[in-house]
C-alpha cells in the first residue's frame, strides 16, 4: 500500500504550489475560482487528507476539546453526563473539533492530567463538569489563560469564567406548580441534606412555588432505600401529602416504592434528571436537556457559530418538565 498523499503530491497533480493547495483547504476565498476547482479535483482524486499532527505542530492548535469522564458513580445518574458528552462530540464534529477523554480520580490528579494535555498541545480547550463552591480547577485554568467552560455554576465564587448550567430551581418550581394545580396544596419535597449547592438550589425552587412559602421537607441520602424509608415514615405518620417533588430520580423511585407500599400508588411524584429509571417506572421528571447545555458550552468556548463574541459568558438552561 502506497503512503498516503501529501500536500506536495496534490500540488504536483494540480500544477500549483503547496501553499495554494493549503489555501484551498483553509481559506478558499483567496484562491481564484478555476484554480480552486482544479485543486479540489486533485484532492478528491488522490483521496488526500491533511495530516493532523503536522498541522497541529505548525499552527500550535490541536482542534481538540478535552473532557473529564467522572468515575462511574454507580448511582442512578450519569445519564445526563452521558448525553452531554455525546451531544458535545456531535456538535464539536460539525465545527471540525475533536473530543478527547481523560480520566482522573480526584481534582489533584485531574490537574495533573490537564497539565499533560495542555502543555503537550493535545488539547486547546477544556470542559469541566461538576463544579462546586471553591473549585480549584477553575482558578487554575483561569490562571493559565486556557479557554474553558464549566458545566456547573461557580456557586458563589466570582464568576469570571464561562459556564453553563441547568436552572434546577426553575425545574422544581415548574414541578411544584404542576403538582399544586393537579393534586392539591400539600406538595412535599424530598431532598438531600442541606449544604449541597445543587440540592439547595432545587429545594429553593420548590419553596418559591409554594403559596405559603414553606411546606413539608423530607431529608434523604441519595439512595433509593433511604428515600423509601423516609417517605414511608412520612406517609404513615398521617401528615397530609398530596404530591412529592424530589431532588433526583433515585429519591423519586424510593418515594414511589413507599407510596405503592402504603396503598397510594397514584400519589403524584416528580423526579429530577429524567433518567431511564424514571421513564421505566412511569414517573414524571425534570429533564435537563443536556443537548442544549452542550450547544451552549460550545458557543461559549468557540464563539457563537462564527458571529457575535461579546455575548454573555454564562448560560442558564431552562429544564423541561416531563409528565407521565
Partner DNA sequence: CCGGGTGATTGGAACGTTCAAGGTCCCGGT
Partner DNA sequence: ACCGGGACCTTGAACGTTCCAATCACCCGG
55-94 mask for DNA (x: CB under 7 A)?
x-xxxx----------------------------------
User: Binding to DNA by residue 262, rule CB under 7 A?
Assistant: no
16-55 mask for DNA (x: CB under 7 A)?
xxxxx-xx-xx---xxx--x------------xxxx--xx
Q: How near is the Cβ of 6 to DNA at its closest, in Å?
A: 3
Report the alpha-carbon distance of residue 284 to residue 274 in Å, rounded.
Answer: 8
- Among 214, 205, 217, 147, which Cα is nearest to 178's? 205
Distances 73 to 78, 119, 132, 220 between C-alpha atoms, Å: 7, 30, 17, 18
Q: How near is the Cβ of 173 to its own copies at its closest, in Å?
A: 25
Restricting to residues 188-247, which ones interact with its own copies according to CB under 8 A?
224
User: Binding to DNA by residue 323, rule CB under 7 A?
Assistant: no
- Among 240, 235, 237, 218, which Cα is nearest to 227's? 218
Restricting to residues 251-290, which ones interact with its own copies according to CB under 8 A?
253-254, 257, 260, 275-277, 279-282
Restricting to residues 141-180, which ones interact with its own copies according to CB under 8 A?
145
Of the pair 4, 182, the CB lying nearest its own copies is at 4
SS3 at position 211: coil
DSSP state at residue 76:
S
Helices (H), the chain: 7-14, 18-26, 33-46, 52-59, 79-94, 107-119, 136-144, 168-182, 197-209, 224-236, 249-261, 276-281, 290-302
Q: What is the largest CA-CA distance in the chain?
A: 87
Residues in contact with its own copies, total (CB under 8 A)? 56
Residue from 78, 200, 232, 320 touching its own copies (CB under 8 A): that is: 78
Of the pair 62, 131, the CB lying nearest its own copies is at 62
- Among 138, 135, 127, 134, which Cα is nearest to 164's? 127
Residue numbers of the site for its own copies (CB under 8 A)? 1, 4, 47, 49-54, 56-57, 62, 64, 69, 71-72, 74-79, 82-83, 85-86, 89-90, 93, 98-103, 113, 115-116, 119-122, 145, 224, 250, 253-254, 257, 260, 275-277, 279-282
Amino acid at each position: 500500500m502506497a503512503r498516503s498523499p501529501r500536500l506536495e503530491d496534490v500540488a504536483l497533480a494540480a500544477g500549483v504550489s503547496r501553499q495554494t493547495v493549503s489555501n484551498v483547504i483553509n481559506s478558499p476565498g483567496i484562491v481564484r475560482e478555476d484554480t480552486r476547482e482544479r485543486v479540489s479535483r486533485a484532492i478528491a482524486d488522490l483521496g488526500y487528507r491533511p495530516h493532523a499532527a503536522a498541522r497541529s505542530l505548525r499552527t500550535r492548535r490541536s482542534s481538540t476539546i478535552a473532557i473529564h469522564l467522572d468515575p462511574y458513580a454507580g448511582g442512578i445518574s450519569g445519564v445526563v453526563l452521558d448525553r452531554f458528552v455525546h451531544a458535545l462530540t456531535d456538535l464539536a464534529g460539525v465545527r471540525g473539533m475533536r473530543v478527547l477523554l481523560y480520566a482522573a480520580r480526584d481534582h489533584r490528579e485531574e490537574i495533573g492530567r490537564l497539565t499533560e494535555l495542555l502543555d503537550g498541545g493535545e488539547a486547546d480547550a477544556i470542559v469541566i463538569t461538576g463544579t462546586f463552591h471553591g473549585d480549584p480547577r477553575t482558578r487554575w485554568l483561569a490562571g493559565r489563560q486556557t479557554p474553558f467552560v464549566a458545566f456547573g455554576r461557580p456557586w458563589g465564587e466570582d464568576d469570571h469564567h464561562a459556564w453553563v448550567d441547568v436552572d434546577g430551581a426553575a425545574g422544581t418550581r415548574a414541578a411544584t406548580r404542576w403538582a399544586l394545580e393537579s393534586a392539591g396544596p400539600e406538595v412535599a419535597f424530598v431532598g438531600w441534606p442541606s449544604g449541597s449547592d445543587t440540592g439547595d438550589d432545587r429545594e429553593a425552587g420548590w419553596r418559591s412555588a409554594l403559596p405559603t412559602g414553606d411546606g413539608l421537607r423530607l431529608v434523604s441520602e441519595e439512595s433509593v432505600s433511604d428515600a423509601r424509608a423516609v417517605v414511608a415514615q412520612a406517609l404513615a405518620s398521617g401528615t397530609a401529602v398530596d404530591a412529592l417533588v424530589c431532588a433526583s430520580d433515585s429519591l423519586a423511585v424510593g418515594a414511589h416504592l413507599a407510596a405503592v407500599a402504603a396503598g397510594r400508588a397514584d400519589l403524584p411524584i416528580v423526579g429530577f434528571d429524567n433518567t431511564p429509571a424514571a421513564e421505566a417506572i412511569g414517573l414524571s421528571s425534570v429533564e435537563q436537556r443536556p443537548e442544549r447545555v452542550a450547544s451552549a458550552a460550545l458557543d461559549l468556548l468557540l464563539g457563537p457559530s462564527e458571529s457575535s463574541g461579546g455575548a454573555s459568558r454564562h448560560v442558564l438552561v431552562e429544564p423541561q418538565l416531563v409528565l407521565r
